[in-house]
Structure 1
Amino acid sequence: MGSKFSYRDAGVDIDAGNQAVERIKGLVARTHNPAVLAGLGGFGGLFKLDIEKMKEPVLVSGTDGVGSKIKIAMALDRHDTVGIDLVAMCVNDILAQGARPLFFLDYLAVNKVIPEQIEALVSGIAEGCLKAECALIGGETAEMPDLYQPGEYDMAGFAVGIVERKKMITGENVRAGDLLLGLKSSGIHSNGYSLVRKIFSKERGYELDMVLPELGLPLGEVLLTPTRIYVKPVLALLDRFTIGGIAHITGGGLLENIPRSLPKGLKAVVDEGSWPRPAIFEIIERSGVEKMEMYRTFNQGIGMVLIVKPEELKEIQELLSEMGEESYVIGEVTQRKAGEAACQIRSV
């Protein structure tokens, strides 16, 4: 009974946590703007809404994680990119409803607080916030040695955005004859990695440092490529054009996500081969994944789909090109008959 215990004896190092906070203060501050009313250290993040020019503002929120892509980061001991994925998965979701991201919060769960690792993770989150033009106003780091193995961690993100109610993207204005405009992805993004890691496993003869001829880069580097953030180009389009629907191509791939932007009675017809598919997907499919499973699991090179009017297509693509975005007409919206799938792949 005379023994004395400390939190550190239980595996939680408060001093290391404080050191990590000091390391990330500058990273977080880079994302702030005049609407952020306090820095790190408070019990909650403070953000002042500017809604004077809005008639009926609606807040839109989203939360997500990075998934087992984190296993790739841990295997490579590179932690400065998955934070970008974390932000992207959240802000791209709320963007699909027309919302402009305002602020972001993160939650990091680790086996052990390693200040350098936390700094790398938050550097990615801060970079993602800068790309999304939103402020990182708070977060939490939980050290839980009993739940995670040494070197392991997980992360979750939370984004809040705002949109004028009458400008919300709901899909109700989509009509038959509208076009599906796909925005190029940066690669696999952050979905399907349980299957990806199974395919590119050591048991199947792969190593993360090997360079496959089709890729021209180390496999691990390709798999760790961050999710593309579409906030700036899409918001620019929403200011000028009639965008009927927006689909963020995440879990469920093209087959399940495009229909989320369609009203009843309509379907999406995607033209196979109407865009250049990145080599990584060709390799995955050759490994034994059926074609329709590819469309249901992966983005196939299209990270976001905009439903646009044919008469606005040329100007939309010109503006996207000016902003460095590659886009492709990948199909169209048509009438849906009883019993038909909400998204079909058409061979051309």
Structure 2
Amino acid sequence: MSDAAASGTKKPSLTYADAGVNIDAGNAFVGRIKEAVASTTRPEVIGGLGGFGGLFAANFKHMQEPVLVSSTDGVGTKLLLLQKHNRPHAAGIDAVAMCVNDIAAQAAEPLFFLDYLATGKLEGETLAGVVEGIAEACRICECSLIGGETAEMPGMYAPGHYDIGGFSVGVVDRPRIVDGSTIRDGDVMLGLASNGAHSNGYSLVRKLIETGKADLENDVLSDGTRAVDGVLAPTRLYVPAVKAMLAANIEVHGYSHITGGGMFDNIERLLPDGLAATVDISSWPVPPVFEYLLSFADVARNERYRTFNMGIGFAVILSSSEADKAEAVLKQAGETVYRIGHIHKQTGDAVTLIG
């Protein structure tokens, strides 16, 4: 028997809200985001928010052998800067982009997306901004936001902080999977411009900002953009570009989403045995945001290109005979395209930078 019971002392009355979890606020939050979620709905989606699971009536009759492709990712320590500068919308876009760009790198079409949001105290305005960013990215990619989880966990996060994870499923017809296995000696590499650092390398970004005592809100990049806008620009979505390539029936041998590991690791992982890539880094301009960040410390060249995308967010490897057509299709889809390198027999490193 407890001391309180033994002494006859009246026990305090407690609710879940007293412990820091407000179920009513959670329900109100779900009601607030319903319009954003509904704006992403594809015909295959059954029902709306509120069920125990998201329902998707897949119809792949137009495919010979449909293969599902899944991806999960987060936004990393970029979130700390996004929270500091109150940019939840960008966090939502980043969460989607990091997943669907990986799916697109296998020539797959993202079908649906789910999010996981966790925070210490539910701040409806901020988290609604995250979901609205998710919805915007899903609309651009024609990918349905069919569900998610918002967890209020008192004591787990500092005030004003939250974490986000995403999960997406796509589909590709097996004969059209692009996995690098058909890359050949003589192939060329096209690079699609990035929006900035996207969602990778932000531990180094934050260290550079700290080292340079940078003032993101007041500093200006060389192109006149506010530093905070350049540093925290959301990850570019490459799904429309890949869809355009599929619609144009262009034979692609390899796609690479340039994320953690930069140009080195994300090209090497595609290459068949015996082949290597040479990348001419003088073939595209280094974006002002990287000039700004790298002005604060001496970061070796290879370290830069292994940590950051350095201006190329997505690469396309294909036959030289397809390159002109591919470049035209990608530009029509809104991409800025550069010819950045070529594939050849390996005599040294898997990926070599020149220029």
**Alignment TM-score, normalising by the size of structure 1:** 0.96
Aligned equivalent of 2:307: 297
Aligned equivalent of 2:8: none
Aligned equivalent of 1:335: 345
Please give the secondary structure, in 2, of the residue aligned with 1:121: helix
Aligned equivalent of 1:58: 67
Moved more, 83-92 or 3-12: 3-12
Please give the secondary structure, in 2, of the residue aligned with 1:216: coil
Taking the aligned partners of 1:92 and 1:78, their CA distance within structure 2 comes to 21
The code of the aligned residue for 2:241 comes to: P
Taking the aligned partners of 1:266 and 1:246, their CA distance within structure 2 comes to 16
Aligned equivalent of 1:344: 352
Q: Is the 8 A contact 1:246 1:305 kept in 2?
A: yes
Aligned equivalent of 1:47: 56
Q: 1:112 aligns with which of 108, 121, 139?
A: 121
The code of the aligned residue for 2:31 comes to: E
The code of the aligned residue for 1:293 comes to: E
Aligned equivalent of 2:185: 176
Q: Computing the radius of gyration over CA atoms, which structure comes out larger, 1 or 2?
A: 2
The structural deviation recorded for 1:218 is 2.2
Percent sequence identity over aligned pairs = 49
Please give the secondary structure, in 1, of the residue aligned with 2:95: helix
Q: Is the 8 A contact 1:276 1:301 kept in 2?
A: yes
Q: Is 1:20 equivalent to 2:29 in the alignment?
A: yes
The structural deviation recorded for 1:282 is 2.0
Aligned equivalent of 1:128: 137
The code of the aligned residue for 2:324 comes to: K
Aligned equivalent of 2:234: 226
Please give the secondary structure, in 1, of the residue aligned with 2:18: helix
Moved more, 82-91 or 212-221: 212-221
The code of the aligned residue for 2:199 comes to: S
The structural deviation recorded for 1:215 is 4.4
Taking the aligned partners of 1:46 and 1:210, their CA distance within structure 2 comes to 46
Taking the aligned partners of 1:188 and 1:161, their CA distance within structure 2 comes to 25
Taking the aligned partners of 2:221 and 2:104, their CA distance within structure 1 comes to 36
Question: Which string of whole-angstrom CA distances, capped at 9 and with x for unpartnered residues, describes residues 249-284 of structure 1?
Answer: 000000110112211111111012111110121233
Please give the secondary structure, in 2, of the residue aligned with 1:200: helix
Taking the aligned partners of 2:294 and 2:274, their CA distance within structure 1 comes to 32
Taking the aligned partners of 1:272 and 1:117, their CA distance within structure 2 comes to 39
Aligned equivalent of 2:7: none
Q: Counterparts in 2 of 1:244-283, with a 5 A limit?
A: 244-283=253-292
Aligned equivalent of 1:102: 111
Question: Which string of whole-angstrom CA distances, capped at 9 and with x for unpartnered residues, describes residues 49-104 of structure 1?
Answer: 11112121100000000011111111112211110011000000011111100000
Taking the aligned partners of 1:256 and 1:283, their CA distance within structure 2 comes to 24
The code of the aligned residue for 2:12 comes to: S
Aligned equivalent of 2:12: 3
Question: Which string of whole-angstrom CA distances, capped at 9 and with x for unpartnered residues, describes residues 14-51 of structure 1?
Answer: 11111110110000000002100010000100001111
List gaps (5 residues or longer) in structure 1: none
**Alignment TM-score, normalising by the size of structure 2:** 0.94
C-alpha distance 213-181 of structure 1, shift in aligned 2 (>3 A): closer
Question: Which string of whole-angstrom CA distances, capped at 9 and with x for unpartnered residues, describes residues 119-176 of structure 1?
Answer: 1010000001011110000000011121101100000000000001111111111101
Taking the aligned partners of 1:234 and 1:176, their CA distance within structure 2 comes to 23
The code of the aligned residue for 1:229 comes to: L
Q: Is the 8 A contact 2:208 2:294 kept in 1?
A: no
The structural deviation recorded for 1:216 is 1.6
The code of the aligned residue for 1:159 comes to: S
Give every structure 1 segment of 4 or more consecutive aligned residues whose post-TM-superposition deviation is greater than 6 Å.
none
Q: Is 1:154 equivalent to 2:155 in the alignment?
A: no
Q: 2:323 aligns with which of 298, 313, 317?
A: 313
Q: Is 1:322 equivalent to 2:332 in the alignment?
A: yes
Taking the aligned partners of 1:229 and 1:92, their CA distance within structure 2 comes to 6
Moved more, 298-307 or 227-236: 227-236
List gaps (5 residues or longer) in structure 2: 5-10
Aligned equivalent of 1:138: 147
Q: 2:216 aligns with which of 208, 225, 228?
A: 208
The structural deviation recorded for 1:213 is 4.6
Q: 1:87 aligns with which of 86, 92, 96?
A: 96
Please give the secondary structure, in 1, of the residue aligned with 2:56: coil
The structural deviation recorded for 1:204 is 2.9
Aligned length: 344
